Each structure stands twice: as structure tokens, then as C-alpha cells.
């Protein structure tokens, strides 16, 4: 199983831009960022409606990326063989949680609509079916 990006220190051009690192640098072809341990090259590309978008050039492969991850040296996600945490979950594993949450929402909706007399026969059957699906006891319905 691959390591996930969330476990690594990262450096993002978005954060640098928000911090004003690129103010006054627009229009230049290349830049260098010195982290103290490593020099990282940056480049920019023009946007369609004006302005520039900044990118890191991965020190290992030269790929243009927005985020670099540190595992010894800063490199792109591909060079470190990293993946995103959300990619570790398979759909079939999530479907159970999704159907459980959906059933709970339906139960809540039915319970909100029940008056003082208690659930009708139809509502009782719907609740039994949903509670069975969730694996919850439903003794209060009898």
C-alpha cells in the first residue's frame, strides 16, 4: 500500500501566493525558492483572462506541480510514490456506510412525521425494514 500525502510536510504555491511571495514577480520566466536545505525552481504560465499561475518544477523529474512533498528532499507526489488518503477507500467499502446513513435519514424523517398516537401500520413496517437494514433493535414498534 502506498504512503499518503497527508503524512508528509508539503510546500504549496497557493500558500506562497497568499503570503505574497510572488508579488512583483509576474511576467518573469523562472524563479528559484531557497528552503535553506534545497533550491526549488518555479515557473509561471499565463492565465486566459490575465495574470499568471505559478508552479514548482519537481527537482527530481522536472514535472510542473502545485505542491511538493518532503521526505528528505522536496519532490512531487509521483516521485515519492504517494497517493491521497481518499484513494485508499474502495467504493464497495463506502457503500455500507452510505446506505446506513441513508437509512438513518429515512428513519428520522418517518419519526418526525409520527403523531401522538404512534406510528401507523405502514410507518411501523417501514421503520422495521429500515431498522433491520441498520441492524438496530426495534422492540419499541410492537
Q: Give the tens place of pLDDT for each residue, 75-117.
A: 999 999 998 877 766 655 555 666 767 777 777 777 776 666 6
Tens of pLDDT, residue by residue over 114-133, are: 666 667 788 778 777 777 76
Looking at every residue in the chain, the average pLDDT score rounds to 79
Measured CA distances, 4 to 57, 59, 80, 88, 126 (Å) = 21, 20, 10, 9, 42
Residue with the larger pLDDT of the pair 4 and 1: 4
Question: Is the model's pLDDT at 142 over the cut of 70?
Answer: no
- Whole-number pLDDT of residue 67: 95
Instruction: Annotate the chain with three-state secondary structure.
Output: CCEEHHHCEEEEHHHHHHCCCCCCCCCCCEEEEECCCCEEEEEEEECCCCCEEEEEECCCCCCEECEEEEECEEECCCCCCEECHHHHCCHHHHHHHHHHHHHHHHHHHHHHHCCCCCCCHHHHHHHHHHHHHHCCCCHHHC
Amino acid at each position: 500500500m502506498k504512503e499518503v500525502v497527508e503524512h508528509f510536510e508539503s510546500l504549496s504555491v497557493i500558500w506562497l501566493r497568499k503570503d505574497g511571495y510572488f508579488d512583483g514577480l509576474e511576467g518573469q520566466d523562472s524563479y528559484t525558492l531557497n528552503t535553506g536545505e534545497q533550491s526549488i525552481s518555479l515557473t509561471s504560465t499565463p492565465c486566459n483572462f490575465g495574470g499568471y499561475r505559478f508552479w514548482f518544477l519537481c527537482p527530481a523529474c522536472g514535472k510542473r506541480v502545485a505542491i511538493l512533498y518532503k521526505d528528505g528532499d522536496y519532490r512531487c507526489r509521483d516521485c515519492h510514490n504517494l497517493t491521497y488518503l481518499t484513494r485508499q477507500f474502495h467504493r464497495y467499502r463506502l457503500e455500507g456506510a452510505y446506505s446506513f446513513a441513508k437509512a438513518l435519514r429515512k428513519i428520522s424523517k418517518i419519526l418526525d412525521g409520527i403523531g401522538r398516537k404512534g406510528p401507523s401500520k405502514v410507518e411501523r413496517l417501514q421503520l422495521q425494514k429500515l431498522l433491520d437494514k441498520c441492524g438496530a433493535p426495534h422492540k419499541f414498534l410492537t
